[in-house]
Amino acid sequence: MIPKELAKKIRRIQIYTRKAVNDVLAGGYESVFKGRGMEFDEVRAYQPGDDIRTIDWNVTARTGEPYVKRYVEERELTVIFLVDLSASGAFGSVDRMKNEIAAEFCALLAFSAIKNNDKVGLIVFTDCIEMFIPPKKGVSHVLRLIRELLYFSPRKTRTDINGALDYMGRVIRKRGVVFLVSDFLAADFAKSMRVLARRHDMIAVSVTDPRETSLPNVGLIELEDAETGESILVDTGNARIRELYANLGQERSARLTQLFGRMSVDYIGLHTDQDYVRDLVRFFKTREQRRRH
């Protein structure tokens, strides 16, 4: 049985995200993701009028007769949410934790996907693969995904983005749209992401809390790493320490932006104190403008 409070939360998310899909994101999802490529269908004999650029030279050489590759527009998409639920996501200094923002963001996109008759799947990871729900269509399927994201209790606490990307590459062979949702407090995942981005339409989604980029002046506090359990005493009354902390946060954000830019991976930055619908609308508009040019 789902706890009554969780059921109310899922219902609230369902109402809010559906309203956003209908009122704010109407047409945005489809214009950005629909009809993005051509899927191989068959090889057939060359016919007068066929574009010579579609000739399959391997088959032509093997048979001695000209053959062409035939493609059809790929209309139905597979959308995969690759979501980091490591311990660092169970943090929030405003109204909601980072993991809650991640769940609501995925719900928003999932409802957009099923409205366009696309399949939606979920991979939850920490430093291991915690859960895989294969892509399917339908409202009940999306509600299950939301429930798992909100209610799931991971076995591990740390993060292995590399392992998650490698697993994704093995279980999802057909080209899809992949949203990698994480706070990216992990290193050395560039190679795996670059490999996966060649086959899939990869979008990186970072979730950040304001207390990860700035400290208030509240005197001596203890900061604990949720994933390792290590702790440190910090004197927030020291302006120099607050400045250093802010600079480290800004540098980390800049490194992520540069990393995704080098790999031509689209990047959406979410914040627990900001409206993620607005961030998604901005992403849709930016991507649509880029496609037109």
Identify the CATH number of the domain in which residue 267 sits: 3.40.50.410
pLDDT at residue 41 in the model: 64
Return the structure tokens found at 2: 């789902």
Do 86 and 154 fall into the same domain?
A: yes
Contacts of 263 (CB under 8 A, 6+ apart): 190, 193, 194, 197
Do 255 and 218 fall into the same domain?
A: yes
pLDDT of 27-73, one tens digit each?
788 778 765 456 666 788 988 888 888 899 998 999 999 998 876 55
Q: Which residue has the tokens 């109310």?
A: 8
- The residue ranges of the chain whose pLDDT is under 70 are 1-2, 34-41, 71-75, 291, 293
Do 16 and 132 fall into the same domain?
A: yes
Do 49 and 143 fall into the same domain?
A: no
pLDDT of 86-115, one tens digit each?
999 999 999 889 999 999 999 999 999 998
Domain count, the chain: 2
Do 90 and 225 fall into the same domain?
A: yes
Q: Which long-range contacts (CB under 8 A, 24 or more apart) does 282-285 make?
A: 283/203, 284/25, 284/28, 284/29, 284/31, 284/32, 285/28
Do 199 and 283 fall into the same domain?
A: yes
Domain containing 108 equals 4-32+76-292
pLDDT at residue 10 in the model: 84
